[in-house]
């Protein structure tokens, strides 16, 4: 009895155990599904009215590209040298009796000025002797002319019908007369030579110029091969310039007096200051390059290098190192920009119409320390980016911010404060160009 009663209880417990084993996982699954639905229903949603910021535009400074002038001044350096120089020598030998006060280094003189005198005593004697010989030769000629007249009368008395021309010439003393005439001509030449030698005892300047060195003194006995002084003409000087070969194509050398070469301005800043100059023109391009720098050499001719009567303060010194600015003809459709704006590989950075960076390659036709003249895809008026950009990328957004006006600074109390205030004012008042990108977003604070 008891055994049969225990059996149904055992079956009921087994059924509940099986039901619990099935219901528990099912309940967990249902709870998970319900929780997931609730989380999905309550998820945060993005506000579609809120605009997502694009990458921020780079702040840059800009400047417009300017058209290059028809002529551009090319800078070059060089040395002043004499266009005409000579060693002054006496044409005759002798003792120097006197030297002109103008025959001193740095002294100017005019053409035909007497710069030195050689003792003329020997040459006066030589002239007297030559004149004596001439008088003798002339007397011999006169005697021979008289003898010829006598011979002519004798021949007429004897008769000359059967006399040949040769015999007649001999009878009339033709050879003797020719010899006497030759002696006279030789004596005249000796007189002229003696006069010339005497005049050469006065040593004259061959041109207007300046004395660069003197090597003789009063009392020296000199020959015709010895140098008395070194002279340089002062009507024209040359400036021997050095410049790169690729700049020669923009210069024009002198073809004739009516077709002078490219204009030049010669600055001697050490002596004249920064603004004064002398005018000249390109004379020649020399045929050989410099041995060291392989630069071309150009001769510039400078008239009146020691100044004029109205302006004698601007005088070039021989050997001076000067700066020349040469007028060069630039190609059409060229643009002049700051030299620093030509980037690596001859590239320039532009700000396009949609306010993005445009990297453009140009052809640099001229460049110096300050400016560059370029041709190619860069046109006058285009906007150049003057800022330095790290890792520039074609199409990157750009913007230019307007400079904020600032109140004037308080009056400085010291010279240092005054200089600092000027610098700060200059920076504050520097022009700025405003150009905001169309898609640039200013976040509301």
CATH fold label, 52-70+340-445: 2.40.420
For range 100-129, the mean pLDDT: 94
CA distance 184 to 194: 15
pLDDT tens sequence across 37-55: 777 776 665 555 455 556 6
pLDDT(57) > 60: yes
pLDDT(441) > 50: no
- Residues 281/299, Cβ–Cβ less than 8 Å: no
Query: Where are the domains positioned within the chain?
Result: 52-70+340-445, 73-83+231-329, 120-200
Average pLDDT, the chain: 80
pLDDT(430) > 60: no
Count other Cβ atoms within 10 Å, centred on residue 171.
16
DSSP codes of every residue in 242-309? EE-GGGGGG-----BTTB---EEEEE-HHHH-SS--EEEEEEEE-SS--TTT--EEEEEEEESTT--S
pLDDT tens sequence across 139-196: 988 887 777 777 677 666 666 666 666 666 666 667 877 888 898 899 999 999 999 9
> Collapsing DSSP states into helix, strand and coil, what is residue 201?
coil
For range 437-443, the mean pLDDT: 35
- Residues 77/297, Cβ–Cβ less than 8 Å: no
Residue 271, Cα to own-chain centre: how many angstroms? Answer: 19
Has this prediction a pTM greater than 0.75? no
CATH architecture of 73-83+231-329: Beta Barrel (2.40)
pLDDT tens sequence across 339-374: 999 998 899 999 998 999 999 999 888 887 888 888
Residue 56's pLDDT is 80
Residue 371's pLDDT is 85
């Amino acid at each position: 009895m008891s055994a049969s009663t225990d059996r149904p209880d055992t079956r009921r417990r087994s059924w509940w155990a099986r039901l619990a084993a099935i219901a528990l996982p099912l309940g967990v699954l249902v709870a998970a599904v319900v929780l997931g639905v609730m989380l999905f229903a309550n998820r945060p949603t993005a506000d579609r009215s809120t605009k997502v910021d694009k990458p921020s535009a780079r702040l840059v400074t800009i400047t417009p590209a300017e058209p290059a002038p028809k002529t551009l001044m090319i800078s070059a350096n060089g040395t002043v040298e004499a266009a005409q120089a000579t060693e002054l020598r006496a044409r005759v030998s002798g003792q120097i009796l006197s030297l002109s006060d103008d025959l001193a280094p740095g002294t100017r003189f005019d053409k035909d000025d007497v710069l030195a005198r050689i003792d003329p005593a020997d040459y006066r004697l030589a002239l007297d002797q030559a004149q004596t010989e001439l008088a003798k030769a002339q007397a011999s000629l006169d005697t021979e002319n008289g003898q010829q007249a006598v011979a002519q009368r004798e021949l007429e008395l004897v008769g000359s019908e059967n006399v040949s021309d040769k015999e007649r010439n001999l009878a009339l003393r033709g050879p003797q007369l020719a010899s006497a005439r030759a002696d006279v001509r030789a004596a005249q030449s000796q007189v002229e030579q003696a006069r010339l030698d005497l005049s050469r005892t006065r040593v004259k300047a061959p041109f207007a110029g300046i004395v660069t060195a003197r090597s003789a003194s009063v009392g020296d006995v000199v020959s015709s091969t010895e140098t008395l002084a070194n002279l340089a003409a002062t009507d024209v000087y040359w400036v021997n310039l050095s410049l790169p070969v690729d700049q020669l194509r923009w210069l024009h050398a002198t073809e004739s007096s009516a077709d002078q070469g490219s204009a030049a301005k010669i600055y001697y800043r050490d002596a004249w200051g920064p603004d004064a100059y002398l005018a000249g023109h390109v004379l020649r391009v020399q045929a050989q390059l410099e041995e060291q720098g392989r630069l071309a050499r150009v001769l510039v001719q400078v008239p009146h290098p020691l100044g004029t009567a109205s302006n004698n303060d601007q005088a070039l010194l021989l050997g001076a190192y000067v700066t020349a600015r040469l007028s060069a003809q630039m190609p059409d459709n060229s643009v002049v920009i700051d030299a620093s704006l030509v980037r690596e590989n001859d590239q320039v950075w532009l700000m396009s119409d949609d306010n993005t960076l445009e990297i453009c390659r140009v052809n640099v036709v001229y460049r110096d320390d300050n400016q560059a003249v370029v041709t190619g895809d860069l046109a006058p008026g285009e906007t150049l980016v003057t800022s330095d950009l790290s890792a520039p990328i074609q199409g990157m957004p750009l913007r230019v911010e307007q400079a904020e006006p600032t109140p004037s600074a308080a009056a400085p109390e010291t010279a240092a404060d005054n200089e600092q205030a000027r610098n700060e004012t200059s920076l504050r008042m520097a022009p700025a160009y405003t150009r905001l990108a169309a898609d640039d977003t200013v976040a509301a604070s």
